[in-house]
Amino acid sequence: ETPVVEQYLEEIQELAQANGSFFHCAVIPDLRDLEPDFARDYPGLFTRIEPKLVPITEDHYNLEEEHLNISGHEFYGEYLMGLMEK
């Protein structure tokens, strides 16, 4: 069975395409696994939608909070802007 999140992403993708808009699914990796294997780690997810893995590094995280730091947020924003320009 297709995970509900994939169903929602497909609906969003279809709406974007129907309105002449682009659609990108960008995934920020977890600090503990910066290069996840989607098929192994999330079976059934991303089978029909190919996500873009944001090339975040450990330097982009506040290690104590395990959350993006200021430079990580800036990097992510720039990455998204780059996707929109393509």
| pTM of the predicted model over 0.85 | no
At 4, the pLDDT band (50, 70, 90 cuts) reads very high
CB contact at 8 A, 31 and 58: yes
DSSP, collapsed to helix, strand or coil, labels residue 44 as: coil
The pLDDT of residue 2: 82
Instruction: Provide long-range contacts, Cβ within 8 A and 24+ apart, for 3-11.
Output: 3/44, 3/45, 5/45, 6/44, 6/45, 6/46, 6/47, 6/48, 6/49, 9/49, 10/48, 10/49
Task: Tell me the pLDDT tens digit for each residue of 25-67.
Answer: 999 999 999 999 998 988 889 988 999 999 999 999 999 999 9
What mean pLDDT value characterizes the chain? 93
Query: Which helix (DSSP H) or strand (DSSP E) does residue 7 occupy?
Result: helix 4-18
